[in-house]
Amino acid sequence: MRPQRIAILGTASSGKTTLAAALAKRYGTLWVPEYLREFVDAAGRVPVDADQFHIARVQRERENMAALAAQRYLFCDTTPLMTAVYSRHYFGGIDAQLAPLADAHLQDYDLTLVTAADIPWQADGLMRENEEVSIIINRMLNQELTARGIPYVPVSGSIEQRVAQVADALSRL
């Protein structure tokens, strides 16, 4: 049986990783970490336009591998759609190879969560986003989801509140 894929989207430092790990623990399943963090650490630099497809492709490959072992749910700390939003912001568009991966969001994810930036912002190593950019990215993400007709559940508050909000949303799937 295919696990339900849960997309966790949001700006940098909005609690996606913490939420994904907490949900995986609660439901006894797997979560897929954001590959972008690993890429930045390994490359020692922020990504450029030419890296976007690679980052999204590896993210999807890791999701697909984790889906083979996940139980009921697979929590995905970001998706190629988020890479596409960042590509629009930083590079003025979505590369032709990245676009189909971002489009897969419509059929591949059973629930999309958007984390609120209501927790204290912290710099994230080489990651370049600051609070002002987070506001812009959040607006762009909401516009992208609306334009694509992707319903989403906003989650906010403490980690306990966020997990409870997600549990409620999962009970309605």
Q: pLDDT per residue over 108-118, tens digit each?
A: 999 999 999 88
pLDDT digits 0-9 by tens, 2-22: 999 999 999 988 899 999 999
Q: Average pLDDT for residues 147-153, to the nearest whole number? A: 95
DSSP string, 61-76: HHHHHHHTT--SEEEE
Name the strands in the sheet holding 153-155, side by side, starting at the edge strand that comes first in the sequence.
30-32, 73-77, 4-9, 111-115, 153-155
Cα end-to-end span (Å), the chain:
16
Q: Average pLDDT for residues 156-173, to the nearest whole number? A: 96
Q: Which residue has the higher pLDDT, 104 or 32?
A: 32
pLDDT digits 0-9 by tens, 66-105: 999 999 999 999 999 999 999 999 999 999 999 999 998 7
- 3-class SS at 112? strand
In the chain, what are the domains? 4-171 (3.40.50.300)
Dist. CA 92–CA 75, nearest whole Å: 29
Q: Which CA distances in Å does 173 have to 20, 23, 110, 169, 170?
A: 18, 16, 8, 7, 5
* CB 5 within 8 Å of CB 63: yes
